[in-house]
Amino acid sequence: MTLHKHQTPEMIKYYYDEFLAKSKEDPFGPVMLDLAFKADLPPALLARIVLEQYLATSCSDQENVSKLQLSQLLKETHLIQDPVLSFQVQQAVLNDMSYGPIVESIKHSIGSEYEFKLENLLKSSNISFIREDEMRSKGYDKTPDIKLQIPIAVDGYVINWIESKASFGDEVSQAGYLKDQFWSYVNRFGSGLVIYWFGYVEDLDIHRDRGIALAQDFPKKFVSFQPSSVESMMHSS
C-alpha cells in the first residue's frame, strides 16, 4: 500500500466529499467501511483521513489539527461532535484488524509481555541491566528496551543492548527500525542484539560487523564479563 497517494489534497477532498454524500443517504449504514474497501485502505486509516478533514473544515484558519487531537478522537469516538461521523469512525475502528487504536493497544500489550519475559530471562541469568524508562529518566532520547550494565558475548559477538520486538522481522519493518532506532543505538551504546520473538527473514541478519545482530530468542549460551577479573565464565540457561 502506497499511503502517500491517498493523502494528496485531491484524494483527501474526494474521500471527504464521498463520505458526506454517502452518509447523507444512509447515515448509519456501512459508509466508511464501504469507502475503505473500495479504496483498498484500512478502515481506521480512512476514518482518520476523513476525521482530519472534518476537523480542518470545522476550525478557524488560525487553528491546526494536532496528531494528539486526532488520536484522542479515534480512541474516544463519543467526543466527535457530529453524531453520524462519530458512529462511522467508531465502526471503522472496531472493524479494522490491521490499523488503528485498538490494534495498537493489542500490539502494545503483546510487546510489554515479551519485554517482561526478556527481563525475567536476564534476571534468572544474573545479568545486570537497566530498562528503557530508567534511561529516559537520565536524559537519553534514543534508547533500546534493555541496556546491559556489563556486556555479554555470544559466539564472540559483544552485546551491549537488547531490543525486544514482539513481531516477525520482514524487510519493510527491519528497514524502518534500522533507520529510526537501531543505528542510533549502535552510535550511542555500541553493538547490540535485536530479538524478533516471532522470527525473521534470515537474509536480514547482515549487519553484525556493524553492530546489529538478530535472534529469535535470548541466547542460551553466552559469556558474561566480570569487571573485577580478566577471566569470564560460560553460562547456560
pLDDT the model gives residue 79: 93
| Angle of CA points 141, 172, 202, to nearest 5° | 100
The DSSP H or E segment spanning 213 is strand 212-215
Same domain, 161 and 198: yes
Determine the Cα–Cα distance for residues 237 and 221; give it in Å rounded to an integer: 7
Residue-wise pLDDT tens digits, 205-230: 999 999 999 999 999 999 987 655 43
Structural contact between residues 78 and 64, judged by C-beta atoms closer than 8 angstroms: no
What is the secondary structure of 53-111 as a DSSP string? HHHHHHS-TT----HHHHHHHHH-GGG-SSHHHHHHHHHHHHT-SSSSHHHHHHHHHHH
7, three cell numbers: 493523502
Domain boundary residue among 43, 68, 99?
Answer: 99
pLDDT at 233 over 80: no
Mean pLDDT of 165-175: 92
Which of 65, 80, 99 is the last residue in one of the domains? 99
123 and 85 in a common domain: no
Residues 12 and 67 in one domain: yes
Choose between 14 and 102: higher pLDDT. 14
Q: Which of 16, 28, 79 is CA-nearest to residue 52?
A: 16
Same domain for 131 and 206, yes or no, is yes
Residues 95 and 109 grouped into a single domain: no
Output the average pLDDT for the chain: 88
* CA-closest candidate to residue 175, choices 202, 204, 195: 204
Q: Are 60 and 140 found together in one domain?
A: no
Whether 88 and 148 map to the same domain: the answer is no
Q: Which residue has the higher pLDDT, 64 or 105?
A: 105
Which among 55, 78, 99 is the end of a domain?
Answer: 99
Average pLDDT over residues 46-51: 93
- Which phi and psi angles does 67 have, rounded to 5°? -65, -35
- CA atoms within 13 Å, Cβ hemisphere of 119: 12
Do 94 and 40 sit in the same domain of this protein? yes
Between 16 and 235, the higher pLDDT residue: 16
Q: Are 44 and 117 found together in one domain?
A: no
Q: Are residues 44 and 125 in the same domain?
A: no
User: In this predicted model, what pLDDT tens digit does every residue of 114-169 receive, in sequence order?
Assistant: 999 999 999 999 999 999 989 888 888 889 999 999 999 999 999 999 999 998 99
The answer to whether residues 107 and 92 belong to one domain is no
Mean pLDDT of 169-180: 92
pLDDT at 102: 74
Count of C-beta atoms within a 10 Å radius of residue 200: 22
- Whether residues 73 and 159 share a domain: the answer is no
How many structural domains compose the chain?
2
pLDDT band at 59; cut points 50, 70, 90:
low
Residue 100's pLDDT is what? Answer: 72
Q: CATH number, domain at 122?
A: 3.40.1350
Is residue 203 pLDDT above 90, yes or no?
yes
Determine the structural domain holding residue 120 and report its residue range.
103-236
Whole-angstrom CA distances from 145 to 120, 134, 160, 170, 231 are 13, 10, 11, 20, 28
